[in-house]
Structure 1
Amino acid sequence: MTRHQIDPRQFSDSDLARHLLTVRGVQWMNGDRGAPLALLLRDHGVDPRTLHATLRGTPALRQTDLDVWVTACYEPAAAILTDPRLTSRDTTRQGRRRRVYSLGAQATAKFVLTIDDTALAADHADRARTGELTRDWLSGPAVERHRARTADTFTGLPLPDGEQDTFDLLADYLRPGTAAALAALLGLPAGPAQHYAALLPATTHVLDCLLCPPTLATGRALVEGYDGIAALVDRALAAPRELPPGALAGLLHAAGGDSAPVRPVALLTLVAGAHLATNLACRTVAALLAHPQEWQAVRQEPARADAAVTETLRYDPPVRITGRIAGEAMEIAGLPVAAGDLVTVLVDAAQRDPAIHPEPDRFLPARAAGAAPLVFADPRISLLEPVVRLVATEAVRALLARRPHLTAAGEPVRHIRVPVTGATARFPVRTAGHQTAPHDGAAAPR
């Protein structure tokens, strides 16, 4: 794996705190001297789109530190994410995983924490193998069989009925609905499914902690929540005869009863998949509320929800930054990249590349099909695309059907230190109220 990426379970609070604070301090200092990637990763007091504009053009790949590269352009971003020579692991630096990062390390702090390599650090070859296993259970056609059940899950959630009642879109609707939908899709028994829903919020930073150090308390809670969900999966896989019909039972059968390849798929879906689907649905709703004419279009024609979700994947994706490690010396966008260098893709910037998308800063669900969203080009999460799209689309569709006059009751509140996902913590909405005038071109809340 990459340099100075440690497993927090293996370190005391004092050593883990030193690691996190040092990486955070280095990012902060590099941001102070104007390093654009450091400014994005420290995730404080900067407009990302201003930085994105400065990173476009020639050269398409910029070196922002000694062995760290970044691109905000679509074509090199797509090439980076689909190149098997760029990996999740730096095999030349295995020993550094046993050390916390220090100012005397004489190396750039690249990835920060590892939570589960088997589930969260897949490369192209890993995903090719997993694809064979999951084809009949988590592919697009397989997941489509669960559309009606997923829709029923969101339709059945209790919501306030009174006029002007306010509720939290995340806590009262998207998080519980997504957890219930994924538990049903995988076939978790009822008791473990409820426990999973309770543990899930603690794992919010599971994708962000790779590039941005969480606080000590958040990091410890993340591990506790993730390990709790892993224990639920392990118990379910250990008793296959007690599993309800669903993907877990099907995957176990496809694997000949071997739980080893099934476990990481289940954890990836239940943890990363849940947060991606929740964030994608939240941002789709936010974008629709910011563009009332689009809200009305989906309300009148529910099939348009799919197009709104697809446009949100481009306009305000649930993963904004992703990093890959050069597994060998190579050339990218005409520039020499050394083995072990970190190559970072600004996904949100690349998907607003004006060379690829006309009017890139406008939210246009009716936009003609063009370049594919880059979010799921990353092999670490590519497996999740059908599930995430399905859950987010049905969450949006059910919400519009149930609360057609929904309005924002305040600004969305983001978690801290979430530059990778930009995860929303709270989003107050009102069941009825005055719709504001359209303001096409406005950005969805970040």
Structure 2
Amino acid sequence: MVVAEKELGRRLQLVQGIHWLYGAQGDPYAALLRGYHGPDPREPYARNREAGPLWRSRLGTWVAARYATAAELLALPVPDGGPLPAAVAQPQVAVAWDRGLPAADPAQRPGADRVRAVAGRACERLLAGLRGEVDLVSEVAARVPVEVLADLHGVAGEDRERLAEACAAAAPALDAALAPPSYEDAARLLAAVAALRGLLGGAAVLPAVVGVRAARELVAGALRALVAGPGQWELLAERGPERAAAVVAETLRHDPPVKVHVFTAAADTEAAGQRIAAGEQVAVVVGAANRDPEVFDRPDVFDPDRAQTSGAGPRLLVPAPYGVPLEPFAGVVAETVVAALAAARPGLRAAGPAVRRQRTPVTGGWLRVPVLF
């Protein structure tokens, strides 16, 4: 146990040190993983796009931040779980929290209608008691997805409380794989994954960890954009669920819950004139690609009417981290929360500045979104 703890601590320090060194020396991807670029991602996104359509970071990872190449790479087949050739030495993973977990089973994925119904009931329970100044992250975005997960799996009583605690401790998982957390947070994360395995079964852990965090960030990102944009909340309250779907779709583009998607090439392939060998690591900077100015008009502006004004428009790039699609769970939960909150609190307004978490390069998570009901 002591040896394992020392190895984890050593790896966290090593990966963090490499990120700082290469980032300071001008590597845009390493600088992005350091996660100290502040609440506005435009500058680091632009630097990663400017580095080329597909370029090799000093970390050993192929990086794509432009829309065309990102779309091509996201369409590649994923590894089937078998052994991959060790083409090159791979960058160290900060926290391999998914090691030993079975792949998500598509057959066990709940349908959108069921998720919507369960999410609607969870919103009724949680929104009814909210008054005065409320933090939409801690009181809404972080709570509703866990309630939905518990209801879908029939978790009740003390196990429900343990599930909420485990989900909270596992929340840093997507970021922790790339950006080293503190040793204490890493230890809590690994313990939480083990707890989720005991509560839900092994095959449900990946969908739970990815789905709950993605839903949390999608809800928080949508609500923050709505209260920050002049007239956006009033339009939502007026138009209802149809507007909520457009808001969530635009949030997936403007402030996606998974901003960096890393995977291992399943086979030799070529993209943007570069050869990627099987077993090499690829990072698609989804947040940058979905704001590519060569594809999207006014890419840094949050505009839920974008699809209506430009026709069908370019396809949104939405990855499936760890093989877990962000639909139907995260997307449906977000649409349900946004519509329910607008109907229940049409006069909602901001009560102070929203705050992002630091060193969260994958989720870019919101720490606080204060509003007045």
How far 1:89 sits from its partner (Å)?
Answer: 8.1
How far 1:415 sits from its partner (Å)?
Answer: 3.3
Does 1:71 pair with 2:102? no
Cα contact 1:168–1:428 (8 A) shared by 2: yes
Distance 1:42 1:32 in 2: 10
Does 1:401 pair with 2:368? no
How far 1:276 sits from its partner (Å)?
Answer: 0.6
Distance 1:319 1:87 in 2: 22
Give the equivalent residue in structure 1 for 2:212: 274
Q: Give the AA of the match of 1:154.
A: C
* Equivalent residue for 1:80, pick from 61, 73, 77: 73
Cα deviation, 1:383-436, whole Å, max 9, x if unaligned, reads: x411111111111112112222222223333334311111223322221xxxxx
Distance 1:219 1:302 in 2: 41
Cα contact 2:20–2:34 (8 A) shared by 1: yes
Cα deviation, 1:256-295, whole Å, max 9, x if unaligned, reads: xxxxxxx32x222322211110110000001111113221
Give the equivalent residue in structure 2 for 1:371: 314
Cα separation, partners in 2 of 1:220 and 1:371, compared to 1, 3 Å:
same
| Larger Rg computed on CA atoms | 1
Cα separation, partners in 2 of 1:416 and 1:52, compared to 1, 3 Å:
closer
Q: How does 1:150-189 map to 2 (within 5 A)?
A: 150-157=119-126, 165-189=132-156
Give the equivalent residue in structure 1 for 2:233: 295
Q: Give the AA of the match of 2:292.
A: D
Give the equivalent residue in structure 2 for 1:25: 17
How far 1:118 sits from its partner (Å)?
Answer: 5.4
Distance 2:372 2:226 in 1: 14
* Equivalent residue for 1:205, pick from 169, 172, 177: 172
Cα contact 1:159–1:172 (8 A) shared by 2: no
Q: Give the AA of the match of 1:363.
A: F
Q: Look up the SS of the partner of 1:425 in the other structure.
A: strand
Q: Look up the SS of the partner of 1:31 in the other structure.
A: helix
Cα contact 2:35–2:361 (8 A) shared by 1: yes
Cα separation, partners in 2 of 1:57 and 1:25, compared to 1, 3 Å:
closer
Distance 2:51 2:18 in 1: 27
Give the equivalent residue in structure 2 for 1:62: 55
Cα contact 2:221–2:251 (8 A) shared by 1: yes
Distance 2:306 2:98 in 1: 38
Cα deviation, 1:211-242, whole Å, max 9, x if unaligned, reads: 111110110011122211211124xxxxxxxx
Distance 1:301 1:307 in 2: 11
Distance 2:93 2:82 in 1: 10
Unmatched segments (≥5 aa) in structure 2: none
Give the equivalent residue in structure 1 for 2:184: 217
Unmatched segments (≥5 aa) in structure 1: 1-8, 95-105, 235-262, 432-446
**TM-score, normalized by length of structure 1?**
0.75
Identical-residue share of aligned pairs (%): 34
Distance 1:355 1:86 in 2: 31
Distance 1:119 1:110 in 2: 19
* Equivalent residue for 1:286, pick from 224, 232, 239: 224
Cα contact 1:410–1:428 (8 A) shared by 2: yes
Q: Look up the SS of the partner of 1:297 in the other structure.
A: helix
Distance 1:309 1:21 in 2: 37
Distance 1:185 1:33 in 2: 48
Distance 1:66 1:228 in 2: 32
Q: Give the AA of the match of 2:13.
A: L
Distance 2:26 2:133 in 1: 41
Q: Look up the SS of the partner of 2:270 in the other structure.
A: strand
Does 1:318 pair with 2:287? no
Cα contact 1:63–1:70 (8 A) shared by 2: yes
Distance 1:88 1:281 in 2: 32
Cα separation, partners in 2 of 1:206 and 1:90, compared to 1, 3 Å:
farther
